[in-house]
């Protein structure tokens, strides 16, 4: 009886394996201006591109995808064009390789959705380029140029949100929002949250929907008014660990620094002054080192004799805190209130002392 059950189990597994076919799409390309060579095609959720040979002015590519996924086709000079593909798509593309210009593409509903946004924004982009050229002409009315530029930008924003309102339930929309948040430094956490609110269903559950939410959470992690994400790291002995949330009930400065960072070390005297003046009143400092060499970190601690909490996993910018906080450069400081909410950022020099006087008195 046990042998029969085991045989049936193996049979079921075999049938499942047969039915679990890889999800693929097919792209047939025609190149108008060359008969041979190659192009690169990269799935943007993957780190490396595939090389695709051009033979007699044509190429064929079969890609693996689990859902609607953005791709780029790239030439030798790293010029590229983007397209979207999903499982079972049978796509056709016509390409001018020297200009890296896709003159025709079909066979993908997701690409058709993406094209609608491009068709709305492309004329405005060309108008802006012409406007920028005219701005360099002598005797140009700058007020007039600025007014036109504002109108174009307002129209682009209207188009963008109109697109999100109609297609926020698609993977295409989630990628567009993710790209906007990742590439535009002027977008803050509140604006990013507003954009994310338009995403629904697959727009949120897709790969880029999930990545968008992660990116927004990282923006919030360094934005005034939001809670600082909790984390736990060891001290230099690796025998004791400290958790950020355990410091609640005090005003806390999180200080991201490293021994090799000159501007970080220049701030230490100011941190010492603030700590000596306000520690007894309920002020704490947690210095999180982004060193990747333990000895360098420990030497700096011995040199500067900082009397507050010093922690690190000694992984540099691969530290676990970099998964929670966007820290492109240091020094980076966050001042938290007694509940763990961020109330100030990057208080350099005497600015920290002044802020603490407001909170705790002289």
Task: Tell me which fold the domain 232-360 belongs to.
Answer: Glutaredoxin (3.40.30)
Strands (E), the chain: 24-31, 36-43, 50-55, 58-64, 69-74, 80-85, 90-96, 101-106, 232-234, 241-243, 251-257, 283-289, 309-311, 332-336, 342-345
Distance CA 165, CA 142 (A): 34
User: Can you give the pTM of this predicted structure?
Assistant: 0.78
pLDDT tens readout for residues 220-276:
999 999 999 999 999 988 889 999 999 999 999 999 999 999 999 999 999 999 999
Q: Give the pair of three-digit tokens for residue 69.
A: 């996924």
Q: What is the dihedral of CA 294, 297, 303, 309, to 10 degrees?
A: -110
DSSP letter assigned to residue 246: G
pLDDT tens readout for residues 52-89:
999 999 999 999 999 999 999 998 888 999 999 999 99
Q: Report pLDDT for 21.
A: 61
Q: What's the average model confidence in pLDDT over 331-343?
A: 97
**Average pLDDT over the chain, rounded to an integer:** 91
β-strands 283-289, 309-311 pairing: parallel
pLDDT tens readout for residues 2-33:
444 444 444 444 444 444 566 999 999 999 99
- Matching CATH number, 21-105, of 3.90.930, 3.40.1130, 2.60.40, 1.10.10: 2.60.40
CB atoms within 10 A of CB 66: 12
CA distances to 156, 167, 186, 187, 343 from 190, rounded to whole Å, are 19, 21, 11, 8, 15
Give residue limits of the domains in the chain.
21-105, 112-220, 232-360
Q: Report pLDDT for 145.
A: 86
Q: What's the average model confidence in pLDDT over 323-331?
A: 91
């Amino acid at each position: 009886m046990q042998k029969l059950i085991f045989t049936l189990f193996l049979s079921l597994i075999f049938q499942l394996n047969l039915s679990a076919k890889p999800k693929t799409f097919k792209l047939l390309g025609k190149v108008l201006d060359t008969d041979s060579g190659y192009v690169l095609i990269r799935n943007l959720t993957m780190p490396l591109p595939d090389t695709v040979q051009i033979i007699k002015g044509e190429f064929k590519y079969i890609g693996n995808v689990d859902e609607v996924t953005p791709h780029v086709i790239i030439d030798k000079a790293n010029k590229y064009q983007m397209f979207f593909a999903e499982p079972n798509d049978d796509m056709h593309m016509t390409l001018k390789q020297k200009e890296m210009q896709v003159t025709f593409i079909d066979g993908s509903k997701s690409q058709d959705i993406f094209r609608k946004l491009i068709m709305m924004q492309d004329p405005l982009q060309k108008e802006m380029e012409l406007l920028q050229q005219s701005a360099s002409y002598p005797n140009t009315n700058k007020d007039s140029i600025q007014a036109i530029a504002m109108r174009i930008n307002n129209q682009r924003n209207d188009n963008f949100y109109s697109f999100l309102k109609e297609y926020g339930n698609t993977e295409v929309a989630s990628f567009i929002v993710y790209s906007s948040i990742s590439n535009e430094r002027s977008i803050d956490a509140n604006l990013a949250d507003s954009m994310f609110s338009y995403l629904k269903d697959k727009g949120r559950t897709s790969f880029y929907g999930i990545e968008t939410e992660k990116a927004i959470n990282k923006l919030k992690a360094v934005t005034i008014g939001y809670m600082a994400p909790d984390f736990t790291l060891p001290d230099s002995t690796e025998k004791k660990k400290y958790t950020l949330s355990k410091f609640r009930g005090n005003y806390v400065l999180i200080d991201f620094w490293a021994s090799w960072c000159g501007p970080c070390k220049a701030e230490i005297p100011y941190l010492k002054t603030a700590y000596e003046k306000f520690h007894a009143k309920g002020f704490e400092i947690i210095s999180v080192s982004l060193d990747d060499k333990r000895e360098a970190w420990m030497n700096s601690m011995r040199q500067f004799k900082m009397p507050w909490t010093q922690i690190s996993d000694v992984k540099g910018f691969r530290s676990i805190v970099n998964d929670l906080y966007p820290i492109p450069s240091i020094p980076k400081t966050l001042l938290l209130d007694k509940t763990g909410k961020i109330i100030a950022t990057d208080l350099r020099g005497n600015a920290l002392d002044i802020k603490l006087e407001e909170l705790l008195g002289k």
